[in-house]
Amino acid sequence: MSRHSHHEENHYTERSGWLRAAVLGANDGIISVTSLVVGISASGAAVNTLLITCIAGVISGAVSMAAGEFISVKSQQDIEDADLRMEAKSLDLSPDLELLELTKIYIHRGLDKELAFEVAKQLTEHNALAAHARDEIGINEETAAQPFLAAFSSAISFALGGLCPLLAILLLPRDHLEYGIILVGVVSLGVLGIVSSYAGGSNMIKGAIRIMLWGIVAMAFTFWIGSLFNVSV
């Protein structure tokens, strides 16, 4: 048996669902919580205030991310389910027209008429709804909406991202806390950019730079806003 007989490829799109949610959650956790803490710190707030603010930001942000991601992806899943029900009904009422529709799709993709018809016929006999879901609607198992997985990934990744400024508050001296939190946040974003780009098969340097630049903008802006106030508590 040839060593290529069981050749299989694991494509990056298979990770797209959970990877998008995880990266979005971690990115938001680092940027939003760090920016929040930096803004409060720039106003002259005490370390205890920063700590409480950070913890509240992590908890509320993680819950918000989970809820928002679930609602968004659940809506997508509802649309997919509605399309599948519509397609199943069409297959019951007009199987010949649906077979012709599938044949035209394969002709458009490059097959000749006879081969396209034979492929459409065999796939219809095997699983008509799956064939139409994949090739007509664009729904497949790898990219289908998974609201619970997306919500869980977002919440956990947001909390992990929010731990970066929390650790900075706990470990850094008060005299260097403001700029130390920013530095920790920027470095954390760079690491996130590298890891997410590696997992997604894209350029790691570009991914890191892109996410770091947006983080610096957000942190600098909130630092400036916070510096306009002087609470000294």
In tens, the pLDDT along 141-171 reads 666 667 888 888 889 999 999 999 999 999 9
Range with the poorest average pLDDT among 24-33, 168-177, 195-204: 195-204
172-193: pLDDT as tens digits:
887 788 889 999 999 999 998 8
Which band of pLDDT confidence, cut at 50, 70 and 90, is reported for residue 1?
very low
Q: How far apart are CA 137 and CA 111, in angstroms?
A: 19
Q: How far apart are CA 12 and CA 201, in angstroms?
A: 7
Which band of pLDDT confidence, cut at 50, 70 and 90, is reported for residue 60?
very high
User: Tokens 């799109």, residue?
Assistant: 13
Q: Which alpha helices (DSSP H) does the chain contain, by range? A: 16-42, 47-93, 95-108, 113-132, 147-171, 177-200, 204-227
The token pair at 79 is 């649309």
pLDDT at 130 over 60: yes
pLDDT at position 89 is: 92
- In angstroms, the Cα distances linking 70 to 141, 143, 168 are 18, 16, 30
pTM of the model: 0.72
Q: Tell me the average pLDDT across 74-99.
A: 89
Q: How far apart are CA 3 and CA 192, in angstroms?
A: 37
The token pair at 59 is 């908890």
Phi, psi of 77 (to 5 degrees): -65, -40
Q: Is-contact 135 3, C-beta < 8 A?
A: no
Average pLDDT taken over every residue of the chain:
84
pLDDT at 3 over 50: no
Enumerate the domain spans of the chain: 21-226
Q: Tell me the average pLDDT across 115-144.
A: 84
pLDDT at position 12 is: 45
pLDDT at 41 over 90: no
Q: Tell me the average pLDDT across 9-24.
A: 59
User: Considering only CA atoms, which of 178, 182, 176, 180 is closest in space to residue 216?
Assistant: 182
